[in-house]
Amino acid sequence: MTAKKMSNPQLIPAWVDGALVPVEKLEVHQRGLRHLAVSVFVVAGAEVLLQRRAAGKYHTPRLWTNACCTHPMWDEAASRCATRRLREELGITGLAPVHRGTVEYRADVGGGLTEHELVEIFVARSDRDLALSPDPTEVMDTRWVDRATLERDIATDPAAFTPWLRVYMSDHAGLIFG
């Protein structure tokens, strides 16, 4: 088990031997440990904001996903994490993400890494003309898409989307669009 300084943002809450402890993010994914996560969807009317993950990401680079997906820092509230990551990844401020539910999934994300997440899902309502300022180390592109188009695109080319977005759309779309 890894026990390092609690202020290290690369330490995320994960279960080891039945206890929730801070573990290095890469180690969590290498070992496939169940861990806490946050996913945020930004919705404008019938459309949802997608981001394409930056090419330099250590897993699932260049894949399309929801507005932001992240891990809370140790002792960080999920709601605070959602707001923080909207700002850090996309430059979005002034939205109030609303908690919509909790989802658990496990997925191979390539390179010998596994996501096994207990995810707090948040939805933030916005106008489509929302000002974006993506961090290029996190995001290489963004686009707005309606649910039917997203479902069709995932069915046509699932490899273009992150495993978790495919799970959310196939099993939990009601949390997002409901």
State pLDDT tens for residues 161-170: 999 999 999 9
5 within a domain of the structure (yes/no): no
Catalytic residue among 69, 81, 115, 120: 69
Helix, strand or coil, per DSSP, at residue 68: strand
CA distances from 64 to 3, 7, 142 (A): 33, 30, 9
pLDDT at position 75: 87
Between helices 163-171 and 147-156, what is the axis angle to 10°? 120
**Inside any domain, residue 147:** yes
Tell me if 1 is assigned to some domain.
no
Please indicate, yes or no, if residue 119 is contained in any of the structural domains.
yes
Domain limits for position 73: 11-176
Residue 64: its pLDDT value, please?
98
Q: Is residue 143 part of a domain?
A: yes
Residue 147 near residue 123, CB atoms below 8 Å: no
Low-confidence ranges of the chain (pLDDT < 70): 1-9
Quick check: is 99 in a domain?
Answer: yes
* pTM given for the model: 0.92
Let me know: does 64 contact 162? Beta carbons within 8 Å: yes
Query: Could you tell me which residues come within 8 angstroms of residue 76 by beta carbon, excluding any fewer than 6 positions away?
Result: 84
Q: What is the total count of domains within the chain?
A: 1
**Residue 124, token pair as written in the block:** 């933030």
Q: Answer yes or no: 69 catalytic.
A: yes
Per the domain annotation, does 6 fall within a domain?
no
Q: Choose the catalytic residue: 68, 81, 89, 117.
A: 117
81 catalytic, yes or no? no
pLDDT on residue 4:
36
Asked whether residue 4 is domain-assigned, the answer is: no
- pLDDT for the residue 178: 84
CATH code where residue 40 lies: 3.90.79.10
